[in-house]
Amino acid sequence: MRKVNEIFYSLQGEGHHTGYPSVFIRFSGCNLHCPFCDTSHEDGIFMDDESIVHAVNLYKAEWIVLTGGEPALSIDSDFVHLLKRATGKKIAIETNGTVPLPDGIDWITVSPKGGICGELEKGEIKVETADEIKVVDVGQPLDEYFNLGCRGAKTLMYLQPCYVEDKAMRESNRLRTVRRVLEDPRWTLSVQLHRFLGIP
C-alpha cells in the first residue's frame, strides 16, 4: 500500500516538459519541510498498486509524473516497472534528490532544496543522474547548483521564481528570476505555466 495525496490529469507546468499532458501521482510525505511547499503532506489515502494503475489508465497521456512530497520515499523498482508494463506510459519523477531512486525512470527532475531549506551541503544529493535540475529561486547563491554530482554534460538547468500568495512579492520574485536568467544564460526560465492557466 502506498499513501497517495492525489492522482490527477493536467498539463505539466514546469521545466522541460512544460505543456505535455501528464497523469500526476502525488504521494504524501516528505523528508523536508519547505515554507513555500504547495502539498499537505499528511493528507492522502492508502492505495494498492492495482488501484493506482487503474486510476492512471483512465487517461491517455504519454507521461506519468511521480511527485509529492518526496515520491522517492514511496516507490521502488517493482512499482516503477509495474506502472510501465501496465500502462505503456513513460515515467518522470520530481524529486528533491536526497533519496536514491529505483531504476526504470525515463526522466529525472531534481529540485534541490538545499540553499533554500538550509544550506546546500556537499553529498546531500543521493540521485546519481538528472535530466534536469530545477531550482526554486528565493534569492540564494546559484553557482553551487552547477557543481551537483547529479549534473552531467546534458543536464538542463531551470530557474523558477518562488510562488507566494502576496501579489507584489510574487511579481518581485518573478522579475528577479528573469534578471538572473538573463545575467547567466546557463539557466532557462521555468514559469509554472499551470498557475497562469488556472489549472491543477
Catalytic residues: 24, 30, 34, 37-39, 94, 194
CB 44 within 8 A of CB 28: yes
Q: Show Cβ contacts of residue 135 under 8 Å, excluding neighbours closer than 6 positions.
A: 111, 112, 115, 142, 145, 157, 158, 159, 160
DSSP conformation letters of the chain: -EEEEEEEEEE--SGGGTT-EEEEEEES--S---TT----TT--EEE-HHHHHHHHTTS--SEEEEESS-GGGT--HHHHHHHHHHH--EEEEEE-SSS---S--SEEEE---TTTSS---TT----S--SEEEEEESS---GGGGG-TT--TT-EEEEEEPP-S-HHHHHHHHHHHHHHHHH-TT-EE---HHHHHT--
